[in-house]
Amino acid sequence: MIENNNEPKNEVSKSTTSDLSVSTYLDTEKLTQIELLVDKLKDSALASQFIDKKYEKNEDGSIIESSEILIFNRADMIMCLGLGAELGMSPFVALSYGKSLNLTSIKKIEKGKKMGLDYNTSLEQIYVWGSGSKEIVYTSIHIVNAVLTRAGVKREIIQDGTVPHYYCTEIASGKSIEFDTSIHYEVPRGLPAAQLKQVIEAIKNDKQLIPVYKDTTPTFIGEVKLSRFNKFLKEVETVSLPYSSKQAIEAGLYRGINSDGEVVKGKDNWNAHVATHLIKMSIMNGGRMIAADYLQGIYDESEISIIKEKSNDTSAFEEAEIV
């Protein structure tokens, strides 16, 4: 059995306080045509996606399968066609999106407009996670690169994420710095205090080098320089924000030992293609800075995975800014 969920139609009247009628903002004639179209299509295959199932329940809350009632959600179909009309879609195209053409899809399309994307790309490639003031919008690096190109941003890879960098800790100061054989001397770990003191003094006096503990695990760095002509300042702006495997480990993206001494398993795609992802993160961080008028805080899929994992933490959304 199919019930028709017909909601009462709201009558539109002219404002008594203004020469403008409400119909200036809402095309009531178009709305009427949409409602007539919905009534004609309600029994067609096109309306099947707007049919909801309703069941009665037993005392224990379990569903009574034999009580199934199919309810045609007229309001959802009207909303779908109405939003489609506002976006310039044909009825068939709007119905192909069905229930997915809703408030969230409007947010995607509005975000896409600012990025220079068509509505189809916006609906399929832009995602919204969260709700209310805590919503996060994200997309893929392919879309970001296309937007940066449209914004006139040139990209130059400075470090491709494949060259291993070894860091060390200065024993005297505790300072962490990249290992340099011309100024550093690697001291074996685990030496007794008295012997360590003798070794340090000998290195300083005889070799004139700084004694350090060298990291055994290499660090990889992705760095992309972004350049864009600023038409207001009449000059080219550049930004280069490197992203390292150390940062990825701290964020839980790449396998390794973090600063708290914890083992991080990382993400499968990061572990398999770390260089690609390091470059991507450098582009994302730099792109949001140099092309804020286009990207406006949009995130990449890797970043949203971190935010989702922290979703139980009230500060998760604020922390996402420093990923």
93-139 pLDDT tens trace? 888 888 878 778 888 888 888 888 888 888 888 988 876 667 888 89
pLDDT band at 296 (very low <50, low <70, confident <90, very high): confident
Q: Which two tokens mark 122?
A: 């916006």
Across 263-279, average pLDDT: 94
- pLDDT at site 19: 46
When mean pLDDT is compared over 65-79, 238-252, 290-304, the highest value belongs to: 238-252
pLDDT higher than 50, residue 262: yes
Q: Which two tokens mark 248?
A: 């990825």
**159 to 15, 39, 163, 224, 278: CA distances (angstroms):** 63, 61, 8, 7, 9
Measure the CA–CA gap between 50 and 72, rounded to whole angstroms: 6
- 176 vs 322, higher pLDDT: 176
* Residue 112 burial (CB count, 10 A): 23
Across 85-96, average pLDDT: 85
Dump pLDDT digits (tens) for 160-187.
Answer: 999 999 999 999 889 989 999 999 999 9
CB 173 within 8 A of CB 211: no
Which 3 state secondary structure label does DSSP give 186? strand
- pLDDT at site 279: 97
pLDDT band at 49 (very low <50, low <70, confident <90, very high): confident
Task: Name residue 226's beta-bridge partners.
Answer: 155, 239
